[in-house]
Amino acid sequence: MDVNPIKAAIPLWYAQMAWAKELISRSFALERAEDILRSESRGNRIIPGTAWYIRTHGIGVDVYKTLDTGGIDFDFDKPHPDHWRMRIFVQRQVNDGNLPFEPYRELLNNEELMSQAIAEALSVNA
């Protein structure tokens, strides 16, 4: 593979995380997006006035259309993607049409190749 398509997905990761934080803050009238982790706000539910869902977990959130489509899963204390979340992110973004299928087809069909591409892309951005 001459060009690693995962590298192209990394800016989208940061944009989606910023979008998700803004969506959470505005939709739930929170001072900070992290406040969604307070006990009274935890859980899995639709984001008011949208077609998006939110699921809180540990120190993070998962914002999605369906469990396999769109959005982003991140922890508030980790500003950069990790291997596991990048894999899920790419799959969901391809399924949602935000990333074109063709450049990711081979990676999506080969877990070992996907792992190598993610490891390479994340090590360059570390």
- Would you state the structure tokens that stand for residue 23, as one six-digit string? 């969506």
Domain that holds residue 56: 5-125
Q: What is the DSSP letter of 71?
A: S
Q: Which of 97, 89, 76 is nearest to 118 (CA)?
A: 89
Number of domains in the chain: 1
**pLDDT (tens place) for every residue of the chain, 126 residues total:** 457 999 999 999 999 999 999 999 999 999 999 999 999 989 999 999 999 999 999 999 999 999 899 999 999 999 999 999 999 999 999 999 999 999 999 999 999 999 999 999 999 765
Residues 6+ apart with CB under 8 A from 25: 31, 32, 33
